[in-house]
Structure 1
Amino acid sequence: MNTENQVLGLIKLSAYIKEFLAKDHEAYNENDTEFELLLKRSEIENPWFTLENQKFALKQWTELLSEENLNNWLRNYSVANVSKKVGLILAGNIPLVGFHDVISVVLSGHIPLIKLSSKDKYMVPFLLKKWNEFSDGAVQFEMVEKLENFDAVIATGSNNTARYLEYYFKDHLSIIRKNRTSVAVLKGDETNEELQLLAEDIFRYFGLGCRNVTRIFIPEDFVIDRLFENFLGFQDIINHNKYANNYDYNRAVYLLNLDKFWDNNFVMLKEDEKLFSPLSVINFSRYSSLDDVKSFISENEENIQCIVAKNTLGLDSVAFGEAQHPSLDTYADNVDTMKFLEVV
């Protein structure tokens, strides 16, 4: 019965967020004003969390939390007979990035002990409170400063942090996530519209997410200017102070080192084999054989979250513009969180 109430609560939460996003300020009620002030406070404390990006993340959740999506997702899993406490150390690189873990723990029949990221302190508690209201009190959770008395843990951090976490939680059931990034593979015949969608995969959330593309594979005869021309829809990104600081710093480093790079005054392209690129930089490489690309992807599988490409290339890929639209059964690091929670 709890699960039914929880699912119904999520559907109502989705409707509530959708209604909020559709309203003009003049039509706000007291709850809407509280929500908007919370988003503004998040942006003030973490300037990467612009109102636009927070509302984009919220909109994605309204689309995910439909009755059909939730039922299709949950029918593949069983609910625990005995509730356990699952510690969650949430990331804060993009808005609501840890919310999937939270709802996974709750819907699997367990109780999340949530250690929030200092960069994303407000939205998760607010949405949990609303979800609980819409579920008639069926959602149990605890906000904690330190994880204690837990049965399992799911933690997300940098590669350095992950080594510490793996040691610290070595005696517990755990999922420890590390840094990942995403790549795009171009065939060469992409339309301008497809390349504009690729820009969304690169620049949304300023490129801070693991599903943001930081490395592009292009055919040998591909004209670089086509990328710059189709990225212009995001040229205002340079007006964001923190992004501009990264751009200025990386550009200065490349100039001092006499590195070769392409620049359009808001993003740089650098011919580089590295998978990860600095913020405001996209690494690219030219290929003559798709087999070479597939070999690189295979060798770096543990560091790649998703691949953006045409499905005709025979890669396990998502379409252009879809990198930031994962489904409920798309799991970070490709580890099935719900299956893990079944054995806690």
Structure 2
Amino acid sequence: MTEGNFVDYVKIYVASGKGGRGSTHLHREKYIDKGGPDGGDGGRGGHVFIIGNKNLWTLYHLKFARHIKAGHGGDGSSSRSTGADGEDKYIEVPLGTVVRDKETNQVLFEITDDGEKKILVEGGKGGLGNWHFRSSTNQTPRYAQPGIPGQELDIILELKVLADVGLVGFPNAGKSTLLSVLTAAKPKIADYPFTTLKPNLGIVAYRDFQSFVIADIPGIIEGAAEGKGLGHYFLRHIERNSTLLFLVPADAEDIKKEYDVLLDELRRYNPEMMDKDRLIVVSKSDMLDDELKAELKEELDEAFKGIPYMFISSVAQQGLTELKDKLWKMLND
């Protein structure tokens, strides 16, 4: 999937169908010129549903669907015939989609399971035909109910990527390179900041045909929680990851400081992020000789008390098997 095709935020106007009118028909036959009422009911208006589809990864197919309207119910007719129900509309979304009311910004529901179906707006009920209003004192009612109008709603669909592990780091920390060597994903890689503008997903093949999903998130900068850089456009994708992998390059001026800035941005965006499992990975460690690595290890042992960390090199393929083992253990403990 190219970056231009990854859409994670759309606004849509949805409207259900109105119910059909009840009929005021009076029964007539060749030798019956004054039959009783036999007007049928109107059909119900169409509903608008949201349904989860595990084969979708983006909201791109809804990018230009600004208005989605269900069909109106048919009117009732003679011989107590009920009108046809209006056509229902189904909006398919990827798993992890949050549905909000645009006016109030309230979360209506989330779609997390394949085939999960929710009604967005219900169609109006059809009106009753005059047959329902006959009585001993009113044997030929010439009135029926109109159908109930449909409902309208402006909604926001917001995709939060479903992945087991989220890669967190400053721009150019080597996240896309790591994703490309751990998985079959082919993210754009270059030596300038913000090469990655959209989240990339990859499946890590593990032992015994097992696997887990890892997400490469665009680089975080200081102030991202307030919307600097790419701000809120990507921070929400980390919310669903159960494990956060903090990637800090070995040539960083202060590894502990970089980690603290990243952690603080996540905390300010959503304090619940602090409850997730964390693993710190020092990337580009092929630049370190044994002496430098030993010195750095002493510093990190003191700085990261109780937080696991490890050294890897994506280019030199060092420490990748150990990284997979560690992530698998963290995900399955």
What's the TM-score once normalised by structure 2's chain length?
0.25
Counting helix residues as a fraction of each chain, which structure ranks higher?
A: 1
Counting strand residues as a fraction of each chain, which structure ranks higher?
A: 2
Q: Which is bigger in relative contact order (C-alpha 8 A, separation at least 6)?
A: 1
What's the TM-score once normalised by structure 1's chain length?
0.25
